[in-house]
Chains A and B, each alone.
Chain A
Amino acid sequence: MKCILSSGFILAIVHCIIVQVFAKATKIIFFLGTMVKYFACVGLLRSSWDQVCMAFWQRYPNPYSNHVLTEDIIFREVTHGNCLVSRRLLTKTNRAPRWMEKYLPVTMARLAYIIEDSIVDPQARTMTTLTWNISHARMMSVEERCEYRMNPDNPSWTEINREAWISSNLYGLSRAVQEFGLARFKTSVTKTMKGFEYVLAKMQGETPSRTLAEHATDRARETALAAKEKAKDLASQAQKKQQFV
């Protein structure tokens, strides 16, 4: 399967694979396994590895991150080998589709806690991140691993190798939940890339063009909507007037 992470600074034509993997099939009487959905993707940012790493720490907030509510560094250390290891804690909104909400406890928090561990190796010029949810993990667990490195064809670009594992232990619904999880994950990848581009453009003192274009589209849509409403209004007024004639 091919997926295209659209526009702007990335011309990311990326090859993605999605496979179902049987993992951990162990139970005494019944053969119950946890199905894990695997997803892999390569993305490209038209900025140097250094810039991307700097942007990584400054990427929130951006216009595509409204679902990220809080962000904290909760561990950080420079190792003997001169690598920077960090753990970031994020709070995100946790919105389930309506069909799924039926099966969830009413008391379930509408927030999700996410951990993002990272290793920046300035000698090898690689950054590795691992991100996963620590709340609601039985219902759905999403683990994402990214490797950021210099693009071999163009040293001023950065390549992101992304892998994800999506699983669910929700009895009888795990497959459906996985499908939902995968769809949501793909949307979030697009948002992440757009957010990155935005922050990179801002850091480099450029006007994030894509966003301006989007604003323009939104504006146009709003104007069109307003005009439509106005037209409706006028029509109904005209109708009323007619009634009185």
Chain B
Amino acid sequence: MLFGQSDHMNSVGEGCTDLKREYDQCFNRWFAEKFLKGDRSGDPCTEMFKKYQHCVQKAIKEKDIPIDGVEFMGPNKDKP
């Protein structure tokens, strides 16, 4: 995709892109207007995130992308 054609990125799962964009939009608003300002009232994006994850995790399995068991901040643990 060439820049200029779209302002958004595609998901790795071809069918998940719409769900991703919907979630991203919700997240960006929440992050700027609530999270960074210390407002800890509920996260309005939870349901969208669940739907999006359902789709993208399926795509990851189908494509055999090796993310299973990869520890959070994993490889950096043994760095000086």
Identity of the chain A residue whose Cβ is nearest the Cβ of B7 in the assembled complex: A61
Interface status of A201 (Cβ within 8 A of chain B): no
Please tell me if the beta carbons of A61 and B1 are within 8 angstroms of each other in the complex.
yes
- Nearest Cβ in chain B — how far from A174, in angstroms? 17
Known: A60-B9, A130-B76, A145-B76. A50 touches B36 (CB 8 A): yes
Give which listed residue, A50, A70, A115, A141, contacts B11 with CB less than 8 A. Answer: A70
Give the secondary structure class of A's interface: strand
* A residues 43-66 in Cβ contact with B at 8 Å: 50, 53-54, 57-58, 60-63, 65-66
- Nearest Cβ in chain A — how far from B15, in angstroms? 13
Please tell me if the beta carbons of A61 and B65 are within 8 angstroms of each other in the complex.
no
Q: Can you list, as one digit per residue, whether each of B31-46 has a CB less than 8 Å from chain A (1) or not (0)?
A: 1100110101001000
Identity of the chain A residue whose Cβ is nearest the Cβ of B9 in the assembled complex: A71
Please tell me if the beta carbons of B12 and A70 are within 8 angstroms of each other in the complex.
yes
Segment of A82-90, A150-158, A183-191, A219-227 engaged in the interface with chain B: A82-90
Give chain B residues whose Cβ lies under 8 Å from the Cβ of A122.
Answer: 35-36, 38
Interface range, B side: 35 or more
Give which listed residue, A54, A61, A119, A165, contacts B28 with CB less than 8 A. Answer: A54
Give chain B residues whose Cβ lies under 8 Å from the Cβ of A70.
Answer: 9-12
Segment of A72-80, A94-102, A237-245 engaged in the interface with chain B: A72-80
* A residues 125-139 in Cβ contact with B at 8 Å: 130, 132, 134-135
Give which listed residue, B49, B60, B74, contacts A76 with CB less than 8 A. Answer: B49
Give chain A residues whose Cβ lies under 8 Å from the Cβ of B12.
Answer: 70, 72, 89, 91
Q: In whole angstroms, how far apart are the Cα atoms of A72 and B79 in the complex?
A: 27
Give chain B residues whose Cβ lies under 8 Å from the Cβ of A74.
Answer: 53, 56-57, 60, 67
Q: In whole angstroms, how far apart are the Cα atoms of A57 and B20 in the complex?
A: 13
In this complex, which of A73, A78, A163 has the most chain B Cβ atoms within 10 angstroms of its Cβ? A73
Identity of the chain B residue whose Cβ is nearest the Cβ of A50 in the assembled complex: B36
Q: In whole angstroms, how far apart are the Cα atoms of A49 and B29 in the complex?
A: 17
Interface status of A17 (Cβ within 8 A of chain B): no
Q: In whole angstroms, how far apart are the Cα atoms of A120 and B40 in the complex?
A: 15
Give chain B residues whose Cβ lies under 8 Å from the Cβ of A53.
Answer: 31, 36
* B residues 3-22 in Cβ contact with A at 8 Å: 3, 6-13, 16, 20
Q: CB within 8 Å of A: which residues of B?
A: 1-3, 6-13, 16, 20, 23-24, 27-28, 31-32, 35-36, 38, 40, 43, 49, 52-53, 56-57, 60, 65-67, 70, 72-76, 79
Q: CB within 8 Å of B: which residues of A?
A: 50, 53-54, 57-58, 60-63, 65-66, 68-76, 78, 82, 84-85, 87, 89, 91, 113, 115, 117, 119-120, 122, 130, 132, 134-135, 141, 143, 145, 163, 165
9 intermolecular pairs with C-beta atoms under 8 Å apart: A50-B32, A57-B31, A66-B2, A68-B9, A74-B53, A74-B57, A85-B72, A132-B75, A163-B79
